[in-house]
Structure 1
Amino acid sequence: MDFKQIQELVKMVNKSNISELSIEEDKFKITIKQKDNEVQQVFTVPAVAPVQAVAQVAPVATAPAATSATPPAATAADTKATNLLTIKSPMIGTFYRSPGPDKPAFVNVGDDVTSGKVVCIIEAMKLFNEIESEVSGRIIKVLVDDASPVEYDQPLFLVEP
């Protein structure tokens, strides 16, 4: 099993409700456990003597890019508005509002979004994942600063239907 296949497995476990996944091939065994929105990998690869390593998958800290002013994180009262929908992060990673430092943001406050429109990018394990809106409406608030780490299921945008 190569590294890219392991990355894909971690992403799939992270996006699903699976709590544990174990795979054994010849002298290679991998167990991926998800606990409290954290994905944990346990590898056992025998060498001269059995070796066991445990790795926590966590957001990669990156240097903040030069950005325009972005709204601060939302308070609990902001997310409790009854008529607003929330676009949430489907994974752990680093949130980016634009495809590059010198590029415009995918969406801004006041922009209309439709289901399937790319609203941001989340970098996870050196992979840039385009996040698409699952709702249609108008962006009311951006809840995360650009180049900030985000958690699984963390609210990213508030949308007025």
Structure 2
Amino acid sequence: MAEQNERNFQFRLRSSHRAPEYQTSNLVVEFLADSGLWEPQQLSITMTGFRLYLISLLLCQHFYLVANANERQIPLQQVDADFEVTTSSDWIVSSVVGDFRIRIEQLVPGESAQPSTDSIAFLEKRMKLCPISRNLPDSVIKNIHLSALA
């Protein structure tokens, strides 16, 4: 059962990646506002510091995913993510849950465009090395999951 005074922050991310470098070409981050509507996020110095911190946590995971996919020569086409951070009533992070899904480009017609289970496990493990995540206290529940889109 959730604490009565918990705060939940939900984000979603979508990025596109184009050949030949497969670097991020389009990136959209949205925040679920109290109104129930998803609002695009444009980073600026007027944004609240805590929201900037949470977005940086999400973007660090994304950066590590893209960088390590490129290192492994996995041709990312798209990344989708749902990201939720729960805090206590006094803004102390208690859990971080990220569900990342990737689609890779089919380079050879007729061949599967699915990354191997080993590649997914490698990328997921490397994402958890993001320095922002690693600097969270050990008491914070961190659950980052990666899967492939069909």
TM-score between both structures, scaled by the size of structure 1: 0.26
The structure with more helix, counted as a fraction of residues = 2
TM normalised by structure 2 equals 0.27
Query: Highest CA radius of gyration, 1 or 2?
Result: 1
